[in-house]
Amino acid sequence: MCILKGIYPRDPKKKPAGVDKTYYHVKDIKFLQHEPLMEKFWHLKTFVKKYKKFVHKEDYDTAKRLEDQKPEYSLQHLIRARYPSFTDSLRDLDDCLSMLALFDTLPVSHKKGIPGETVQESTRLVHEFLLYVIKSRCLKAVFASIKGYYFQ
């Protein structure tokens, strides 16, 4: 949640509890408490506890019924708040495109949780972006290396 909202840990000068602890400002945590997504995460956590309880009791009918009531959440309001305009979203596009290109190259594997729809959609989005770049002629520089292609 901290990453989604852009809140990063602080490193105090004297750590009272140890080196392996992560510290945040109190004002940042209070800011996160008012996020509506936190309530959705709490509902999801409760759902997982109930679901695991029924599965361990081998009550699969109740677990299946409970699975149909699984709470869902959306991250659209976070994206709109983080990128209010199209140009703001284009500035951070490199991470998204890297992830799409990664899913574009992955094979479909249900064991590893990579559904075919995700691979097909990422392939389509990469091709649409490359078509947009070609049509708008906004490419300044290209660098090819062993790891891949780099566009500017």
Q: For the segment 54-109, what is each residue's pLDDT rounded down to a tens digit?
A: 999 998 999 999 988 888 888 888 878 878 888 887 777 777 777 788 888 888 87
Structural domain contains residue 100: yes
Q: How many domains does the chain have?
A: 1
**Predicted local confidence at residue 56, as pLDDT:** 93
Which domain, by its residues, includes 104? 88-152
With 80 as the cut, is the pLDDT of residue 18 above it?
no
135 found inside a domain: yes
Mean of per-residue pLDDT scores for the chain: 83
Q: Which two tokens stand for residue 149?
A: 């292609």
| Dihedral sign from CA coordinates of 25, 31, 34, 37 | negative
Question: Taking residues 12-28, what's their average pLDDT?
Answer: 78
75 in any annotated domain = no
pLDDT digits (tens, 9 = 90+) for 98-140: 778 888 888 887 777 778 888 888 889 889 988 988 899 888 8
- In-domain check, residue 34: no
In a domain? residue 129: yes
Instruction: Let me know if residue 125 belongs to a domain.
Output: yes
Task: Please check whether residue 114 lies inside any domain of the structure.
Answer: yes
**Distance between CA atoms of residues 152 and 149, nearest Å:** 10
Q: Look at residue 96 and tell me if it is in a domain.
A: yes
Q: What string of H, E and C letters represents the secondary structure of 106-118?
A: CCCECCCCECHHH
Q: Give the E-state strand segments of the chain in sequence order.
A: 142-144, 149-151
How far is Cα 57 from Cα 46, in angstroms, rounded to an integer?
17
